[in-house]
Structure 1
Amino acid sequence: MPMTSSRGKALAGTVTVPGDKSISHRALMFGLLTVGETRITGLLEGEDVINTAKACRALGARIERTGPGAWTVHGVGVGGLVQSAEALDFGNSGTGCRLMMGVVGCHPIRATFDGDASLRKRPMRRALDPLELFGVRVVAQGEGGRLPITIEGPRDAVPVVYESPVASAQVKSAVLLAGLNAPGVTSVIEKEATRDHTERMLSHFGASVTVTPHGAHGRRIDLVGQPELKPAPVVVPADPSSAAFPLVAAAIVPGSDVTITGVMMNTLRTGLITTLIEMGAAIEQLNPRIESGEDIADLRVRGSRLTGVDVPAHRAPSMIDEYPILAVAAAFAHGTTRMRGLHELRVKESDRLAAVADGLAAAGVDYAIDGDDLIVEGTGRAPGGGTVATHMDHRIAMSFLVMGLATDQPMSVDDTGFIVTSFPDFIPLMRRLGADFA
């Protein structure tokens, strides 16, 4: 359904955004791979995560929702997965699909993975290629290695040493999750450090995992296979990728004062916050603490005068999902913002680089694409007045609705339906802060 956002009063209030999607997916999967009961609180109950829960049930877990965001998982343990009679359907979720390929990969069962029309367009070979090194066999696949894909796990998997050619937490996690059911040590080497939720959760559930520096910005992760994972409670922190929208909205709407509670502050996920502070955003971290192995804090942000900055390519893995909303912030900054190394944006739910560029054009903002760099020429204001094609991408929809809260003329998006995949409460939450959405 289409929606329009308009400039209005300053935003104010205290809100809690949904639980982190990355942690939510992993909490369910680790519950599946653990013998006993895993209790999860704060689970993101968007469509993507619900589809992961359904897949875990199909593979043998008993899962129960006991209250809002509260779930229990009775798992079958590493090596204990059952073969699903039907395809595992992940809807729009590339994270759920690729990580579950790793979970299933080294089990001696056959599984078919599928998704919606958008997910069927996304590349899966980047996860399949390393899985084949373990002995996983790809039985069937769509054109170009796309969904639907059927894989068959080996009876005797072999551990691997995998040097990832792309900075992808999904690929790294798929390899480590596959390595759980392979004897010996499985290792992943990454040239650029990516979000480390899988490594942290492996330790939280009792696996033996070692992380060491590798090169200037990379790391090596070594995992001892075939552990007996022990049930452990998981408190899911607020998703920094979801917090990004009210965070930027408050920064670009003059006079705003917004606090977002319990946000994950893992340094491999806070690239946007680092960048916004460099731009001059008034962001305070309040009440820092640790829960379930993750750093969290409350964030207070106020309307700010932003200045354009150069965002280095090595920061991309820590904020890859936040570039659309950063581009919105850059439009209201004074001066040029250059975001470097955005090739991964081309293979998200949409070609996000092209979608962001089209959205900026619809808002009358000057920009350029130079290779994999996005350059935004900010003037402190943006005309607005256009309609943005979201291409079934939830982050494009939310980003340009936020933009319309500060443009001279209202901004419209053609479809808000996919917002529910990651942030079901986005529209009412923003309205509670004072956003004019119609």
Structure 2
Amino acid sequence: MMRTRPLKVALLGCGVVGSEVARIMTTHADDLAQRIGAPVELAGVAVRRPSKVREGIDPALVTTDATALVKRGDIDVVVEVIGGIEPARSLITTAFEHGASVVSANKALLAQDGAALHAAAEEHGRDLYYEAAVAGAIPLIRPLRESLAGDKVNRVLGIVNGTTNFILDKMDSTGAGYQEALDEATALGYAEADPTADVEGFDAAAKAAILAGIAFHTRVRLDDVYREGMTEVTAADFRSAKEMGCTIKLLAICERARDGASVTARVHPAMIPLSHPLASVRGAYNAVFVESDAAGQLMFYGPGAGGSPTASAVLGDLVAVCRNKLNGATGPGESAYAALPVSPMGDVVTRYHISLDVADKPGVLAQVATVFAEHGVSIDTVRQQGKDGEASLVVVTHRALDAALTGTVEALRKLDTVRGVASIMRVEGE
């Protein structure tokens, strides 16, 4: 039997994503009602600019007083798509206090204050869902926290930012430099006017914190995630990658230590073999590779941003939360029982691709090899090219602690025969 009284939804934010949420709620109202077991009604829309025309939305629903909207007491679900830390944090906690569950797409807030928000939801017996916070339309959070709940996840490796993947893909396929590829991404609308959050890895780091927390049942905050941007990646790096049978991606990597006693979370550009499934992810698409004990290797792929894809994830959460509401239940909350320590980047085991500008004279290679040996780092391959007293030396290491690799690079910089370290990049996915 379908309940006739509608479930009331308050929408905070009506930009690209919010307007799509409202549109889908309206155009698919009958289907949503059948799937939920009750109609859903858009009861209010909080915006900053009320005078803006919003097609398909009754102007009588529009308000600038978001606090009053979430305090109404008759709201069943609040959908938060305004982003940022405040006022989103206060509005979400206020919603819980006044009887509403919350669906959010706010990766920055969840990465910074997810534990406190989960605690507030639990205190008031409400749901907090956020599938849209990590990879747009790609179902990822629910599989990690529900479908794989009986398994042990060891590693999550992914491309979780479409802007950076578009730029790196252009550099790879056309030979363009970073700035040229960024300009094209901006012109096509893939990059913001200020692309810092994307290209410096802040966006991906927030998503990595969320994924690591869910995958490893451990609280991981944004500050725990090691981060490097991709602005220093050059066309020469791609040429070197191709010589190794690799390409370059900005990766979010969350993994357990081999002894299972700690976890790490990091974001940085890395070379990956062309044989790895993530190497073929092109354009602005996202993909996440999950490795677990029982299920083995799984890959989730699709559009990671945009109004419609993100709204799809929001509506999926909305349906789940509304079903819970009708059943007088709540879905999975925070699972942080493992409470594993988050190790620093220096404890990560990885490989380095190092390009050095050196003097072209006898004994240089021996000096360089000695530095690697002194730091306990084994060399896999060496390529050297020289001309007119100058040379480039490309060294690829075997796996070693990142701290040892970093120490090696710093020692190399001090050699008289090393004129500069042209580039350093980690090698992953092998």
TM-score interval, normalised by the smaller of the two chains: under 0.3
Higher RCO structure (Cα 8 Å, ≥6 apart)? 1
TM-score (norm 2): 0.25
Bigger Rg, structure 1 or 2: 2
TM-score norm. by structure 1 comes to 0.25
